[in-house]
Structure formats: structure tokens, C-alpha cells
Amino acid sequence: MSISLSLIYLAATIAFIIGLKKMGHPATAKNGNLIAAAGMALAIAGTIFIHDLQVPTSIYILIGMAILIGSAIGGWMAIKVKMTKMPELVSLFNGFGGASAALIGLVEFSRGGGDKMITTTIVSGIIIGAITFSGSLIAWGKLNGSVKSVIKIPYHNTVNNLFLVGIIAFAFFIVTAGASNEVLAFGLLAGGLIYGILFVLPIGGADMPVVISLLNSLTGIAAAITGILYSNMVMLIGGILVGSAGIILTVAMCKGMNRTLGAVIFGTFGATDSVAGTNKTLGTIKKTNPSDSAIMLNYATNVIIVPGYGLAVAQAQHIIHELEELLTKKGVNVKYAIHPVAGRMPGHMNVLLAESNVDYSLLLEMEDINPQFKNTDVVLVVGANDVVNPAAHNDPSSPIYGMPILDVENAKHIIVNKRTMKAGYAGIENELFYNDKTVMLFGDAKDALTSLVSELKNM
């Protein structure tokens, strides 16, 4: 490798690290993303134009066409995607990353030539890439509703484990036997694709944020393996950064749900069709209207807004920011309570509210906001469900028991905006809705908040 290319890779690596660091906070995330993207563009350009290989002009043309077409499609999708569809886009793009790793493994399979280390690297890339690709597509289907939240497979844990052991045994045979028949590589690819499907199908909808994070880490690992194969340091380091960040985020998400990674992979949280808590009297629902809700908010001193997936579905992030600004002008102290697993992907609510230019200092994480609920006059819950369900504290039989939640029930008054009484992703009743301090403001979040703003403006 030339010195100039090494320097380019070093600059790209530094850009990745700085970008990843900046993406750790909403205020700097956009710049961090741009810096990391610039680093990747630099690495790609250096790899194409500064190398030791003699490459025909036709190859350059094909590479250029692939970059232009891929950039155009990716850019168009990123611009057009709605915030509610962002988790699906992340899952889809993640799947393509896995597919790339698997295809590279197929192309390079014959390169093994009996070298056990190289062959191990290649087959690992094929397996992990295939699992990530098919698993991400199933996750994408679950998120957009084209695949059932949970498809039950008889003895799925046993079937999955045996299938995975079979794939590993097959890979071990290929490595030890020094086999180079490409049919074996395609067999390994098929096994990985099937396992990816079996892996994600039984997982419940409430665990989708964790699954997306886990699959993202696998894509990083696949990229790192490809970096080893090509002795490409920037690909290796980039893959390590993505893989390690994904694993750390996966662990953090599991902690936020009070679940182990094994429970996510082998359980079916959010899979039940039955409604938990129907064996006891939860109480009665009290309905309210925009006018009465506006009066409560207008005369409050401290208000906390709890955003959830319903806010994203209604595309109501701009109107809720307007509501917050209006209340602030009236002298009300307004904050947002952000649960780590609210929405359909990690940081979904942060991204949603950042789009409407909400002040980052008003977004408080669960650990910081929970002690403040007891001194809060009114909590406005918009589209959130499982993350505010007191059953996590009160009902040992509940599937979310032990899950850290936002302590909304401690506030003096609670307004919950939902379209219907339909259960959340965990498929269980929410005790908060029956609390004596709670009133339900039914309707689409955008319509309800617009009416609230209108009523407040007239006060």
C-alpha cells in the first residue's frame, strides 16, 4: 500500500471516530454524520484511484456507474422517507450492508486455496452477511406491517439452535477439508439466509429496536471480516466501530427494557394476542376534550410532554413544538421525557423532535426526568403506551414487569392522547389509562394538538 493511500485511510479513520463521537449528542449529530460520510467518501476515492493493481478502464466505468446509481437511489430514499418510516429504512440499508459482505465472500470463495485462515474469514463473511440480510428484511417487513409481528414456529428455539449448529458444522467442514467447490459456498449462503429468517420471525414487535441494533452490529462485524480479507485497515476499523457501537447500543436497549439479550432472541415479547390484566378490574376511562385539556395546561406551572410512536405516525412533531413554545410564552415550564425505547428504533423520539427544532436542553432522559414527575402539574402523553405503563412496577404477571418506565403516574394530572384504546406493541392493557388522575384525549395526535393550540391561543 502506498504512503498516500495510507494517509488517506488514516484521515478517513479519524473522520469515522470524530463523527461517531459527535453522533452521541443530538446537537452535534448532524455534523457528526456529515464528517463520517466525508471520511467514507475519501476512503472510497482513495481505494479506487490510488492502489497497486492494474485495473481496466471498463472496470472504472462499471464502478462509476454503480456509485452514481447507488447514490441516486440512496439519496432519493433518504430525502423522501417519512420519520415514521425511518426504522424501516435503517433496517433496509442495514440488510444491504450484510448482502454486500455475503456477495464479497462468494466472489472470493475460491481464493481460499486450502489456507484455513483465509477460508475461515470468507465463510464467516458469507454466514454473517446472509443472516444480516435476510434478518433485516424480515425486520423491515415487521415494521411496515407486511409481515406479522410474530410468526410462531413450533419449538422455534430448538429448531433455530439446531439449524445454527448445522451451519457452523458445515462451515467447519469446508475450512478443514479445504473445499473450494462454489456449490458449497452457495449452500452456506442459503443456510445463512434461512437462519436469518428463522432468527427474526419469532421475535415480538416490542423487541424490534433491539433486533435492529443487533443486526446493525452484525453488519459491522461482517465489514470488519471483509477488511481482514482484503488487508484493508479502513474497512476493518470502520467495521469494528459499527460492530462495537451496535453491541453497546444493543446492551443498553436491553437494559432499558429490563431484558437479557437471550430473552430477546429466544422470547416473544409483544407476541401475545391476549390482553394482560383483563382478569382484574382496572377501573373506568375518563374522556376529555381539547378545551378542558387546554385549561389544565394553561394554568399549570410545570408540564412534561411524553412523546411516543403515535406522535411520529401523525407527523405531529411540528405542532407539538408549537404547543411547547406557546406554553413557554405563558410562563409554563415545559420539558420532554424521552424513554430509551420509545418509538421503533433507538433515539427515534430524539430524531423526531430534532426535526422540528425543539431545544435539545428540553429533552431529558428517563433517569433525569423521573424524579421530576412528582412535582409536575400536568403530563401530556402523546402516542406513548408501554413505556408509561405502571404494570411494569405493579403487576408481576405482566410481560413488561421490571422494565424501567417513565413514572408518569406520579404527576398531579395526566392527559393521554391516543387514537383508540388499542394495546401497545407489547399487546397488554395500560393501567395508566384507568388511573384516577388520568383523562383520555382521543383522536389523531396532529388533530388533537392543533385543537389544543387553538384553544390555548384564545385564552
> Residues with catalytic annotation?
386
CA pair distance 284, 434, nearest whole angstrom:
6
CA distance 107 to 97: 16
C-alpha distance from residue 382 to each of 175, 297, 366, 424 (Å): 54, 14, 16, 13
Distance CA 375, CA 276 (A): 31
Distances (CA, A) of 268 to 187, 206, 339, 393: 29, 9, 21, 20
Is the distance from CB of 242 to CB of 223 less than 8 angstroms?
A: yes
DSSP SS3 for 368: helix
Length of the chain: 459
Q: Are 280 and 226 in contact (CB under 8 A)?
A: no
Nearest to 1 by CA among 43, 38, 47: 47
Other CB atoms closer than 10 Å to residue 4's CB: what's the count?
A: 10
